[in-house]
Chains A and B, each alone.
Chain A
Amino acid sequence: MVVDTPAPEIDDDDVDRLFHALADATRRDIVVAAMEGEHSVSALARRYPMSVAAVQKHVAVLERAHLVTKERRGREQIVRMNIDAIRQASRLLDAIEDLWRGRIARIGALLADEPEGAHP
């Protein structure tokens, strides 16, 4: 069976989940911690005045928003940054670069167009 591989797209539900995930200070802090390195859920729970179960819930929200991934390792659950999100940041900066390359090319053409610009 031939199946087209669709380009990864972000739909409205993803955006809602992302906004919801980032609307909480603890969850933002967990994201920052996960960017710096991997942490177990119990280690994260020691950082905040809340139960392991409460931290689990926050991590689950972040997981659904694709910001972190969770992996069972022995008795621990390890939380780490979703590397795809980093790739997306990289892709975004590439897209911004492309956008500006287009703009620079158009400015160049515009300046060459003007009667004073004797240089084609």
Chain B
Amino acid sequence: MSVIDVSKDLDALTMTMTAEFVAPVAKVWQVWENPRLLERWWGPPTHPATFVDHELEPGGRMHYFMTAPEGDTYHGWWRIVSVDPPTALELEDGFADDEGNPNPDLPVTVMRVTLSEQPGGITRMTVDAQYATREGMEQVIAMGVEEGMTLAVNQIDGLLAEAAATT
């Protein structure tokens, strides 16, 4: 499996995941840099993502939405804090209205991504997701759990279906 480590800190409200891919760093970077590739993995299969704006530069804005099976769309935004191709990316991820305008009342997640070359043509990717404040986390608990759990459960169902199909 490609996930090699997961750590969660309930006090700091962070989740850090480390994964390895059999591909060069420049190629793994493409899944962040190329919006058409990004769309193929950001949303779960049941809620595919569409990136409307994609400016991968410091201060750059992104607007994306995920489409639910019933056709409802959930909009989000990214703001690029810093980017150092092809090894480092820091961004803020939040909720948006249909036009992609950030909703200031909803919490923001800070994500840090680093890519590093390992022996044997392997790229190690570390993603660190952090909630800014305890209040923000409490809001996420209220707003996100239901949606987040639904998305995660749908995703697990999909993975199980895939696993069943290959056995």
Binding site for B on A (CB under 8 A): 9-10, 14-15, 18-19, 22, 28, 31-32, 35, 67, 85-86, 88-108, 110-112, 114, 116-117, 119
Contacts and interface: CB of A to CB of B under 8 A. Distances in A.
A106 B41 CA distance: 5
A95 B145 contact: yes
A14 B146 CA distance: 12
Nearest to B111: A100
Interface stretch (B57-65, B76-84, B95-103, B129-137): B129-137
A48 B39 CA distance: 50
A53 to B, nearest CB: 26
A67 B138 contact: yes
A97 B22 contact: no
B15 interface: yes
Contacts of B158: 102
A95 B2 contact: no
Majority DSSP secondary structure for residues of A touching B: helix
A67 B141 CA distance: 11
Given A18-B139, A95-B149, A107 B28 contact: yes
B2 A100 contact: no
A111 B155 contact: no
A96 B15 contact: yes
Interface string B135-154: 10111111111101101100
Interface in B9-28: 10, 13, 15, 17, 19, 21-23, 27-28
Contact of A99 (B2, B142, B151): B151
A104 B3 contact: yes
A106 B46 CA distance: 13
Given A98-B155, A101-B3, A117-B23, A89 B141 contact: yes
